[in-house]
Chains A and B, each alone.
Chain A
């Protein structure tokens, strides 16, 4: 006896509804996950780092630790949980540069502070987490 193809008899509408539903739900899931990942992105930790790094240079200026104009010595006094690139520009001494490279894939905080070390100077720094 020939076996009756039950699916052909009843049609395959149910299966296609299910496949449609699966695709629709997967699409919704993907959109929600992407939205969540986007919303999850936060700059707050970076904001806290900028405060700390800025404080360090303010304190060093107050303690006259910038007066040496020696970038290696200045870097040695900074917290070692961050990396730094420093550039000092003074009226008479000119530009004192640091050969450190700034990474392209990290959050970089940069600022410039004026200070006096027997001449008017400006220190510019770039800082990032190790």
Chain B
């Protein structure tokens, strides 16, 4: 048997390499999972911005033309004056096909659901497709509906 140097150097190197590979694997795995989380975070923020913009459009603007109906609507808006939802507009909106409102509000690639409710959570009316998915944002707005203070919830989901 020789003096064993070559074998021991190989052993040292193997141990060092093993530890380095394990750590590198852990690092890459952690990094990838963080990147995935970060991507989800970015998409979630995009959804929040979109939901805020759409809810702002619906509860602040009358739409175009201002007394729109389902046959001449160009831009959707639900209020007669700021934060005061017009019943006629809400009824016109509720009667529209979901896919049509989806296009007009430019919601794609997401889906949406609207709830009008009392502050205690009792639902008065709804519109859209209710999703129970993981990626979902809900924007609460305060509006006047049928001459009373109500909560307008706009949910965007994927």
Say whether A and B bind each other. Answer: yes
CB distance from A51 to the nearest CB of B (A): 6
B contact residues vs A (CB 8 Å cutoff): 3-5, 8-9, 11-13, 15-16, 19-20, 23-24, 27, 30-31, 34, 37-38, 41, 44-45, 48-49, 51-52, 55-56, 59, 81-84, 119, 139-144, 149, 151
B139 and A51 contacting across the interface, CB-CB below 8 Å: yes
A-B contact pairs, 8 of them (CB 8 A): A13-B12, A14-B9, A14-B15, A25-B24, A36-B38, A52-B141, A62-B83, A79-B151
Size of the A side of the interface (Cβ < 8 Å), in residues, is: 35
A98 to B38, CA, bound (A): 42
A contact residues vs B (CB 8 Å cutoff): 6-7, 9-10, 12-15, 17-18, 21-22, 25, 28-29, 32, 36, 39-40, 42, 44-45, 47-48, 51-52, 55-56, 58-60, 62-63, 77, 79
B83 and A79 contacting across the interface, CB-CB below 8 Å: no
A14 to B5, CA, bound (A): 13
Interface SS majority for chain A: helix
- Residues of A near B149 (CB, < 8 A) are 59-60, 63, 77
B139 and A62 contacting across the interface, CB-CB below 8 Å: no
Q: Given A28-B27, A48-B48, A55-B143, A40 and B19 touching (CB < 8 A)?
A: no
A25 to B83, CA, bound (A): 55
- Residues of A near B12 (CB, < 8 A) are 10, 12-15
